[in-house]
């Protein structure tokens, strides 16, 4: 559930995935590339050897035509298996999730386990996984050892979630990933918060506002 | 979830009183003027806002969570002061978020450990129950095996004793037959000797010298005694034969009450005065058994009861009762006779153990009785007090 009061609506979006799949890199690129009305600094919590221990946080925001301030707080979870408790706590209250998979063929098992842990943890923190806006991003798709896009698409063909292929290091695919998630989030919550009827926001304006592109 | 790590933090919780005081005082010194710090709603938390103060927002993420109100000779100083305060606030919020998240994570980890522990405890309990059940089953199987082995052993023993007994009975019966016949002939010869006295008439000198009157009289006695001895031998042989199951009958559906009545009927014919038999029989389901053997069993036990009362030298009664429930058929034969000493009780079922004088019993009655009961998967127990009577309890389990 987004946090809301009469003047604010805050969406919590979580980047989830196996260790070193590029969740923090996604956030750093978004910070560089996006230019919404309001953009905070990337807040990076403690790291150890460049691995996230707690989370990273990127705040974004814009004001709807109605004057409602819409905020997005983009979190990353620690990917390492040992930090499952932290991962679960960060995942709590998420309104949307980007699952950042590592396209490297050698990481297939880790991806699978991490995706399973996402589903399990959603159940434990009271998120209805079947209703959760979710985008699956295959990152590092430029690796020579990456699973080819056609194979990945074939394998995920029966899954309901949109797939995005990215190279977070260069920023390729990072914005489309967020845009895709924002569209899912809009569809999930637009009616509940009367985004179109009371606040003058259609889906395109919602995405554009968050990303900082001309509506 | 107001305590969650990702809540919107307020200025007041990030900078508590002492911290505000330290910052405020230091900033006041740096700016060389009064200043105030207020929260997002404009409520002053520390200091005094100077007149014509500038209001600079303190931003953590996107929006101000408070304001610095001050006045400085050049605005760069005030901005620098705001920036310092902002840096402190961000450090503070990072620390607070991290520590709160850490607590949540620890609680989560603890929760998963507890779940895991509960799961393990449950599976441990399951395995414990399983192991107890297995143990119980093994114990049961061992008991069954032991019982079977015991039965097999009994049957073997019975077969070998039976073979011996049958062989002996056969071998003894032959000479017994001609000795008995010879004795009977010899009785007639003695009668002829008596006739000789009449034939001699008055000349009885030699007769009297040889004291043939005495010889005749004693000879008859001797022959009678011998005949009694032969009877006894014959009875022992008959007992041995029945003990050996030589005349094995086939199994039948039988009402045990009929068997009890038959056996009691036979004993009743031999009952001395002062001893009576009371039957208290409840309806019984029919049992597959060897009725001949069952008759023998009841006869042996009832005869023992009769003898126990005779031994006590007083009038008494034998009470025979039967009843049935789901578990099986229970029969009790109780006398108020002489009873048994503990030592006797201990050996009562041993073959050839008897307390009767030689000739009065072979010591096979109870042994045979027990073998018959065991052959029908039953139980037989003795309860006896010296001079207090004996109760024989026989139980046949219902067929499974």
Coil, strand, or helix at residue B329?
A: strand
pLDDT tens track for A37-89:
999 999 887 677 777 788 999 999 999 999 999 999 999 999 888 888 889 99
| CATH classification number, A3-211, choose in 3.30.70.420, 3.10.450.50, 3.40.50.300, 2.30.30.830 | 3.40.50.300
What number of CA atoms fall less than 13 Å from residue A18's CA on the CB side?
19
A90, B90: Cβ pair inside 8 Å? Answer: no
B107, A85: Cβ pair inside 8 Å? Answer: yes
B108, A84: Cβ pair inside 8 Å? Answer: yes
> Mind telling me how many Å the CA of A72 is from chain B's nearest CA?
10
CA dist., res. B379 & res. B394, Å (int):
6
Q: With an 8 Å Cβ cutoff, is B114 touching chain A?
A: no
Q: Which of A51, A26, A3 is nearest to A135 (CA)?
A: A26
Please tell me the predicted confidence (pLDDT) of residue B213: 86
Q: pLDDT grade, residue A214 (50/70/90)?
A: very low
> Mind telling me how many Å the CA of A133 is from chain B's nearest CA?
20
Q: With an 8 Å Cβ cutoff, is B58 touching chain A?
A: no
B6, A75: Cβ pair inside 8 Å? Answer: yes
B109, A73: Cβ pair inside 8 Å? Answer: no
Residues of B in contact with A69 (CB under 8 A): 62-63
What number of CA atoms fall less than 13 Å from residue A207's CA on the CB side?
15
> Mind telling me how many Å the CA of A45 is from chain B's nearest CA?
7
Provide the token pair at A84: 């499952």
A180 compared with B161, residue with greater pLDDT: A180
Interface predicted TM-score of the whole assembly (ipTM), two decimals: 0.85
Please tell me the predicted confidence (pLDDT) of residue B242: 63
pLDDT, averaged across chain B: 85
pLDDT tens track for A99-118:
999 999 999 999 999 999 99
A45, B62: Cβ pair inside 8 Å? Answer: no
In chain A, domain spans:
3-211
Please tell me the predicted confidence (pLDDT) of residue A79: 87
Other Cβ atoms closer than 10 A to A140? 22
pLDDT, averaged across chain A: 91
Residues of A in contact with B101 (CB under 8 A): 45, 54-55, 86, 89-90
Q: Which of B94, B106, B108 sits opposite A43 (nearest CB)?
A: B94
Q: pLDDT grade, residue A35 (50/70/90)?
A: very high
- Which parts of chain B register pLDDT below 50? 1, 246
Average the pLDDT over A127-138 and give the result: 95
Please tell me the predicted confidence (pLDDT) of residue B172: 87
Question: Distance of CA B143 to CAs A175, B57, B149, B150, B400, Å?
Answer: 77, 88, 10, 10, 17
**Which residues, including other chains, have CB under 8 Å from residue A129's CB and lie 6 or more apart?**
A118, A119, A122, A123
Please tell me the predicted confidence (pLDDT) of residue B355: 77
Q: pLDDT grade, residue A98 (50/70/90)?
A: very high
Please tell me the predicted confidence (pLDDT) of residue B173: 86
Interface test with A, best of B97, B100, B105 (most A CBs within 10 A): B105
Please tell me the predicted confidence (pLDDT) of residue B358: 62
A181 compared with A2, residue with greater pLDDT: A181
Domain B252-397 in CATH 3.30.565.10: yes
B5, A61: Cβ pair inside 8 Å? Answer: no
Q: Which of A59, A61, A86 sits opposite B101 (nearest CB)?
A: A86
Q: pLDDT grade, residue A130 (50/70/90)?
A: very high
- E-strand stretches of chain B: 35-39, 44-47, 54-59, 64-70, 252-254, 275-281, 287-289, 316-324, 328-335, 379-385, 389-397
Q: With an 8 Å Cβ cutoff, is A174 touching chain B?
A: no
Please tell me the predicted confidence (pLDDT) of residue B137: 95
Please tell me the predicted confidence (pLDDT) of residue B361: 66
C-alpha angle B357-B362-B368 in degrees, rounded to nearest 5? 140
Q: Which of A54, A55, A59 sits opposite B62 (nearest CB)?
A: A59
Q: Which of B1, B6, B106 sits opposite A73 (nearest CB)?
A: B6
């Amino acid at each position: 559930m987004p946090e809301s009061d009469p003047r604010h609506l805050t969406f919590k979006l979580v980047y989830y995935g196996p260790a070193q799949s590029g969740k923090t890199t996604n956030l750093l690129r978004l910070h560089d590339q996006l230019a919404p009305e309001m953009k905070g600094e990337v807040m990076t919590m403690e790291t150890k050897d460049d691995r996230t221990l707690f989370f990273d946080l990127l705040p974004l925001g814009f004001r709807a035509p109605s004057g409602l301030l819409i905020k997005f707080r983009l979190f990353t979870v620690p990917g390492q298996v040992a930090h499952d408790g932290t991962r679960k706590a960060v995942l709590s209250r998420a309104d949307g999730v980007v699952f950042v998979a590592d396209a490297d063929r050698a990481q297939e098992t880790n991806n699978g386990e991490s995706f399973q842990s996402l589903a399990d943890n959603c159940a434990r923190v009271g998120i209805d996984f079947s209703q959760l806006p979710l985008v699956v991003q295959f990152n590092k798709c430029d690796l020579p050892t990456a699973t080819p896009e056609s194979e990945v698409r074939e394998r995920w063909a029966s899954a309901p979630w949109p797939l995005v292929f990215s190279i977070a290091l260069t920023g390729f695919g990072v914005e489309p990933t967020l845009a895709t998630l924002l569209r899912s989030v809009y569809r999930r919550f637009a009616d509940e918060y009367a985004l179109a009827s009371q606040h003058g926001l259609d889906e395109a304006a919602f995405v554009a506002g968050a990303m900082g592109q001309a509506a | 979830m107001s305590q969650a790590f990702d809540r919107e933090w307020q200025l007041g919780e990030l900078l508590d009183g002492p911290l505000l005081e330290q910052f405020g005082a230091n900033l006041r010194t740096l700016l060389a003027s009064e200043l105030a710090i207020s929260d997002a709603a404009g409520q002053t938390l520390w200091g005094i806002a100077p007149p014509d103060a500038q209001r600079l927002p303190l931003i953590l993420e996107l929006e101000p969570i408070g304001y610095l109100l001050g006045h400085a000779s050049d605005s760069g100083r005030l901005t620098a002061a705001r920036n310092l305060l902002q840096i402190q606030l961000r450090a503070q919020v990072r620390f607070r978020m991290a520590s709160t998240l850490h607590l949540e994570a620890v609680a989560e980890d603890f929760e998963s450990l507890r779940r895991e522990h509960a799961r393990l405890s449950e599976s441990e309990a399951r395995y414990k129950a399983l192991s107890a059940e297995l143990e119980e089953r093994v114990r049961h199987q061992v008991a069954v095996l032991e019982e079977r082995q015991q039965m097999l052993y009994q049957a073997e023993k019975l077969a070998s004793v039976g073979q011996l007994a049958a062989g002996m009975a056969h071998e003894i019966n032959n000479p017994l037959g001609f000795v008995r016949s010879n004795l009977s002939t010899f009785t007639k010869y003695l009668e002829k000797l008596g006739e000789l006295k009449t034939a001699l008439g008055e000349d009885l000198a030699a007769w009297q010298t040889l004291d043939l009157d005495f010889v005749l009289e004693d000879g008859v006695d001797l022959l009678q005694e011998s005949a009694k001895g032969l009877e006894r031998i014959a009875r022992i042989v008959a007992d041995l034969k029945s003990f050996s199951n030589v005349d094995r009958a086939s199994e039948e559906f039988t009402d045990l009450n009929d068997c009890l009545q038959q056996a009691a009927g036979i004993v009743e014919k031999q009952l001395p005065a002062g001893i009576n038999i009371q039957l208290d029989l409840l309806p019984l389901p029919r049992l597959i058994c060897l009725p001949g053997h069952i008759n023998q069993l009841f006869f042996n036990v009832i005869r023992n009861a009769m003898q126990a009362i005779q031994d006590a030298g007083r009038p008494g009664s034998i009470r025979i009762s039967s009843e049935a429930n789901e578990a099986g058929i229970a029969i009790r034969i109780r006398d108020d006779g002489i009873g048994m000493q503990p030592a006797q009780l201990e050996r009562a079922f041993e073959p050839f153990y008897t307390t009767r004088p030689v000739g009065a019993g072979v010591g096979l009655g109870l042994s045979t009785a027990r073998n018959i009961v065991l052959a029908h998967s039953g139980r037989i127990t003795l309860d006896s007090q010296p001079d207090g009577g004996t109760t024989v309890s026989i139980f046949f389990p219902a067929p499974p």
